[in-house]
Every structure is written in structure tokens, then in C-alpha cells.
Amino acid sequence: MNTKMTFTATGDSFITRRLPSKNKSFEEIRSIIQRGEARFTNLEVTVHNWKGFPSAQSGGTWAIASPEVLADLKEYGFNLINCANNHALDYSYGGLEATGRCLDQYGFIYAGIGKNLAEAGAPKYLDCPSGRVALIAATSSFHESWIAGEQRRDVMGRPGINPLRVKTTYLLTPEYFEKLQQIADSIEINAYDNLIRKEGFLPELEEGIFMFGKYTFKKSDRNGVITEPEEKDIRRLIKAINQARYFADYVLVSIHSHQIKGESKEQPADFLVSAARKCIDAGAHAVIGHGPHVLRGIEIYKNCPIFYSLGNFIFQSETVTKLPQDFYEKYGLGHEDNVADALKKRSANGTRGLAADKEALRSVIPVWTMENGKLVEIKLYPIELGYGLPAYKNGWPYLSKDGKILEKLAALSKPFNVEIMVKDNIGIIKG
């Protein structure tokens, strides 16, 4: 390989409103994004004119926007889109398929969803002046019914997302393990599953494994938790990366993941670190993470960047125009209540949740250059999204002069042995 290329990426674009004007802030952000030939964002909404009915489950807010918002993402300069996330099927299969049609109409290259699992997991390609880029996308945050199904010769596949499933095992010392078994027996939490397991409708458990409801426990010499990526999903990602390396100069992998380590959204779960590194081992040149709506650290692994989360780029979840009755019932509201009532109830009048989280409205835009498959440099531009403004005004990115954003990112990246130098309020990571 003898190809030098520059990339730009952002985190979540939860866009529900049109750009009010192309002001100075917009022009500054656009000029940064367009420094890359490949320019990525995560589309955190479905885009259609109510083409699907609301699913029984959502990613939190039933996320929908007018297709015209794609014109604004185009104005920023994006040409690569991730669709594999926890909102992809907020409006069921109709919303999923309509979103794909709208993205096609606006000329975006997008990955992570499809008519079946093969299509959802397939690399998608962008031809740039300096070379060809492949995008592969998966999500670890989804309802199980949203997983795209494999096609057989005798049965069609199922539309959905490309999953990165997580195997979570809780470790208990023998004393705690036996106590939990006693509790399970006394409250009969496993009674039905034990019965259908005997009938062959559930697989037998491995030695030393115990189920407490839907949670898996293993006898160990310590108490703790292990999270691992599901092996079959990793194998599928690796096969896609192998194919993409044949057809493209550079391979980007997008992973949408809300799971955390401990009680901090800023710490990636162990399975995500493992999955990202496996992708680089297989030949990917960068892993772009998003999902928790806050920044996470950056790792340089084998001369390739892993962004564990780029936080939010556009965040307008508080200005959806309609919500299904399921949302209202969740907060004890009825048919006479409206969207504003429901959103205010969720956020306790803007005092809790993402609406009140300053860190959810602060992020960075990385612009990085690679040559011959290796990182040369990353530049990190801090942005804010209008914390403290009314919901109908905030959520648009603008360059920030607050040095604490890069300070925090540097602290989050330090455990990965990454040093971020700061010059003129721009973070710099050398390859």
C-alpha cells in the first residue's frame, strides 16, 4: 500500500430540526469536516415521513426526522453514514426501509442495516481522489428482535441491524454461588426455564454455570463480571474486514455501544476494547465508536486509532415532534398530554438525564491522516452543543474555546498510553 489519506469522523447525529442558517459557526465546523476525504457520522434517527408504525421498543426516544435533515448533513460534508444503532428500528421495518431509501436518494454511503444479515454486515465503499474506503458497521445496543436474519435457500432473511452481541458472565466465589442457588430455588425464578430445558427447548448449561433468571453466573475464585464479544459476530466482522481489504485501500469499522464498565459511561466495557482490537488485528485501519453520548478515551493500537466514543455531534432528542402512546404510559401520562409534557416528565423539567448533562453537549471532531496503512497524526477539535440553551435552540455544534474538553479527553486516553498535546486549543496525537 502506498496511499495517504485524511479522514474525519463525528459521533452521534441525533438531528430532528433543519439548520436555521449557515452562520460562522456552521462554516467553521464544515471546514473542519471537509478536511477529510472520507467523512463519517452516526445517524441516530430514522428519516422518513411516517412510513413505519412505532415499534413496541425503542432506543429510548422514538427517533424520527424529516428526510430533509439529510440535506443538512450533506451540507456539513458527510459522505459515510452508520445506521447500526439502537434507534434503527424505532419505527419497525417500514421505518428502516424508508430510511435506507432516503439515504440512497441523498447519495450517502451507509452501512450496518439491510434486508438480511449478509446485507447488514457487508462492507460499503466510498471512492475518493486518494483511494477507496470501506465502511463496516455493527451495534451492541439493540432489542433482540432487531437483529437482521440470515437468508437460507428455502427461507428469506429478515431486515435489521448487524449485531455485535455481548456475552456477560458474573463471577461468584463458591460461598456466594451456593447462596444464590438457594435464593433461586426459594423464589422459583428458574422454575419454568428448568422445565423447558429438560424438554429440550433450551440448551444444557455448561459445568459450573448457573442461571439466575436471564443472568449467567459462574463459580470462580473471585467476584466480578466478564464481558466478551459473541464469537460468531466477531467472526462475521473479521470476514467482512478481510473482504474489504481486498476491495479498498482503507477499512473503517463503526461500533455503536452503550454498554459501560462499572458505573461510568466514560469507560468502555471490556468486550468493546476486545472487539475493537480484534478488528484492527484483522486489518481494519480505524474503529469509530459512539453510543453513550459522552466522550471516551482514544487508543492507538498497532498504529491505528480506536475512538471508543466520539460523543454527540448533533443532539436534538428533546425536539421530536411526535411520540407513541408507549412513551407517555412509561411516565404515567395519558392521551390528553403532549410531547412537551412527556419530555419534561422524563427530564424532570430539564434537571436530569441527557438534557441536563453538560458532558453530553461537549465533544471533539478528530481529523486524522494515515499513510501506507499507518497513523501519521490526529488533530482533535473541541466542540460544544449549546448547554444551557432552550431545547429548541441547543444541539448544534460550534467550536469551543474551553480547554477542559481536551484535558478530559487526555485523561480518558491516558490509560491507553496515549498522549494528547495541545496547541492553540487543538489536540494533537502523533503516530
**Tens of pLDDT along 296-333?**
999 999 999 999 999 999 999 999 999 999 999 999 99
What distance in Å separates the CA atoms of residue 133 and residue 7, rounded to the nearest whole number? 10
Q: What is the mean pLDDT of the chain?
A: 97
10 Å CB burial of residue 383 (0-12, 13-18, 19+) is: buried
Q: What is the pLDDT of residues 253-296, one digit of tens each?
A: 999 999 999 999 999 999 999 999 999 999 999 999 999 999 99
Question: Is pLDDT above 90 for 336?
Answer: yes
Give residue 156's pLDDT. Answer: 96
**What's the rounded mean pLDDT across residues 374-387?**
98
Domain with CATH 3.60.21.10 in the chain: 4-152+230-430
Q: What is the pLDDT of residues 24-49, one digit of tens each?
A: 999 999 999 999 999 999 999 999 99
**For 4-152+230-430, which CATH superfamily applies?**
Metallo-dependent phosphatases (3.60.21.10)
**What's the rounded mean pLDDT across residues 368-377?**
98
Give residue 131's pLDDT. Answer: 97
Question: Is pLDDT above 70 for 412?
Answer: yes
Q: What is the pLDDT of residues 61-100, one digit of tens each?
A: 999 999 999 999 999 999 999 999 999 999 999 999 999 9
- 360 pLDDT tier (thresholds 50, 70, 90): very high
- 13 pLDDT tier (thresholds 50, 70, 90): very high
- 22 pLDDT tier (thresholds 50, 70, 90): confident
* Contact in structure between 252 and 284 (CB atoms under 8 Å): yes
17 to 13, 24, 29, 96, 293: CA distances (angstroms): 11, 19, 17, 20, 18
Question: Is pLDDT above 80 for 2?
Answer: no
What distance in Å separates the CA atoms of residue 133 and residue 125, rounded to the nearest whole number? 6
Q: What percent of the chain has pLDDT over 90?
A: 97
What distance in Å separates the CA atoms of residue 157 and residue 234, rounded to the nearest whole number? 20
**What's the rounded mean pLDDT across residues 134-140?**
99
Q: What is the pLDDT of residues 148-205, one digit of tens each?
A: 999 999 999 999 999 999 999 999 999 999 999 999 999 999 999 999 999 999 999 9
Question: Is pLDDT above 90 for 207?
Answer: no
Give residue 355's pLDDT. Answer: 82
Lowest mean pLDDT across 72-86, 103-117, 341-355, 401-415: 341-355
Q: How many CB atoms lie within 10 A of CB 313?
A: 29
Q: What percent of the chain has pLDDT over 70?
A: 100
Global pTM reads 0.96
Q: What is the pLDDT of residues 250-261, one digit of tens each?
A: 999 999 999 999
Give residue 1's pLDDT. Answer: 62
What distance in Å separates the CA atoms of residue 378 and residue 366, rounded to the nearest whole number? 6
Give residue 181's pLDDT. Answer: 95
Question: Is pLDDT above 70 for 243?
Answer: yes
